[in-house]
């Protein structure tokens, strides 16, 4: 993978493209979850890099895209557009995990003509799915997280999002760079920013929903059941996996992404 960089009004954003990036291949844009970074998709990169162009990034305010002064889903979507334009591709397939799925939907809201397909991994839908209680609790995340000691908070996050030793180690490695204040702030602005950008969104491209059977993060499972019911999008449960299902069970996730991509071609 080749590392590159763009800059907007709020900071520098690191992104990576596959070594053999050619115009006649379909392009996959991998979007990681909150407080994570691009390394959560390493098992997907190895699997898909021969047959597809790959773009990935450390989202604004995450990983190597720090410092970043004003994270928002709108600025993230616009940064994605800038990256895609620099890569010279006209269509992308978005693969977004958790917060990455929110950013994908923010992008689809603004640039629907560029998106060929959307793989939603352990994320939640835009729209009127959320009760007043749901939104109230999301706004409390930052101060509530600050109540935990730093090491306990990080260990709790890792155990929450993954059930395998590999998955938990991967999460711990990704969040190790953050002090507690920055980590809690990221979670706060991630959830609050989602509420600000949330809207009724009709997604016209094909969509598949992948959710870990053991995903106990918030109400992800119930939101996805309702998302599938309302839209007819296919919902696939990933066994032996929690919220970071692509890390816990990459073989199963990769196979379902492959089936989805074959149907797009």
Tens of pLDDT, residue by residue over 232-256, are 999 999 999 999 999 999 999 999 9
Res. 179: pLDDT tops 80: yes
Q: Return left, alpha or beta for 61; rule: phi > 0 is left, psi -120 to 50 is alpha, else beta.
A: left
Residue whose C-alpha is closest to residue 210's, from 39, 110, 127, 95:
95
DSSP label of 87 = H
Q: Tens digits of per-residue pLDDT, 162-172? A: 999 999 999 99
Q: Tens digits of per-residue pLDDT, 145-157? A: 777 788 888 999 9
Distance CA 171, CA 157 (A): 8
Residues in contact with 140: Cβ distance below 8 Å, sequence separation at least 6, in sequence order? none
pLDDT of residue 193: 81
Mean pLDDT along residues 64-82 = 94
pLDDT of residue 169: 97
pLDDT of residue 101: 97
Q: Do the beta carbons of residue 265 and residue 28 sit within 8 Å?
A: no
pLDDT of residue 132: 83
Mean pLDDT along residues 102-111 = 97
Distance CA 203, CA 201 (A): 6
pLDDT of residue 149: 83
Residue whose C-alpha is closest to residue 106's, from 122, 123, 90:
123
Q: Is the peptide bond before 33 cis (omega within 30 degrees of 0)?
A: no
How distant, in Å, are the alpha carbons of 116, 188, 252, 265 from that of 145? 37, 9, 32, 44
3-state helix, strand, coil in the chain (%, to 5): 45, 20, 35
Q: Tens digits of per-residue pLDDT, 78-102? A: 999 999 999 999 999 999 999 999 9
Mean pLDDT along residues 51-65 = 96
Res. 130: pLDDT tops 80: yes
Rg of the Cα atoms in the chain: 17
Q: Tens digits of per-residue pLDDT, 3-46? A: 999 999 999 999 999 998 987 899 999 999 999 999 999 999 99
pLDDT of residue 247: 98
Distance CA 198, CA 73 (A): 10
pLDDT of residue 74: 94
pLDDT of residue 29: 98
pLDDT of residue 157: 92
Residue whose C-alpha is closest to residue 8's, from 108, 80, 113, 57:
80
What percentage of the chain exceeds 90 in pLDDT?
81
How distant, in Å, are the alpha carbons of 62, 81, 181 from that of 147? 22, 37, 11
pLDDT of residue 99: 95
Q: Which has the minimum average pLDDT: 127-136, 212-221, 224-233?
A: 127-136
pLDDT of residue 151: 86
Buried b (16+ CB within 10 A) or exposed e, 44-59: bbebbbeebbbbbbbb
Distance CA 29, CA 40 (A): 13
Mean pLDDT of the chain: 93
């Amino acid at each position: 993978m080749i590392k590159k960089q763009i800059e907007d009004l709020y900071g520098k954003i690191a992104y990576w493209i596959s070594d053999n990036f050619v115009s006649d291949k379909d392009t996959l844009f991998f979007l990681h979850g909150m407080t994570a970074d691009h390394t959560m998709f390493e098992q997907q990169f190895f699997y898909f890099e021969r047959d597809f162009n790959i773009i990935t990034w450390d989202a604004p305010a995450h990983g190597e895209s720090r410092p970043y002064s004003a994270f928002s889903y709108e600025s993230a979507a616009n940064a994605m557009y800038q990256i895609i334009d620099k890569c010279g591709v006209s269509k992308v397939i978005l693969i977004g995990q958790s917060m990455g799925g929110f950013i994908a939907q923010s992008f689809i809201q603004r640039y629907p003509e560029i998106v060929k397909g959307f793989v939603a991994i352990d994320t939640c839908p835009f729209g009127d799915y959320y009760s007043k209680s749901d939104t109230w609790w999301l706004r409390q995340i930052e101060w509530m997280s600050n109540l935990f000691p730093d090491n306990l908070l990080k260990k709790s996050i890792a155990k929450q999002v993954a059930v395998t030793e590999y998955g938990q180690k991967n999460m711990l490695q990704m969040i190790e760079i953050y002090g507690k204040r920055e980590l809690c702030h990221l979670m706060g602005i991630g959830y609050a920013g989602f509420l600000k950008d949330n809207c009724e969104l009709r997604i016209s491209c094909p969509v598949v929903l992948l959710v870990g059977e053991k995903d106990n993060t918030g109400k992800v499972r119930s939101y996805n059941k309702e998302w599938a019911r309302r839209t007819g999008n296919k919902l696939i449960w990933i066994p032996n996996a929690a919220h970071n299902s692509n890390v816990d069970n990459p073989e199963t996730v990769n196979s379902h992404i492959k089936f989805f991509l074959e149907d797009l071609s």
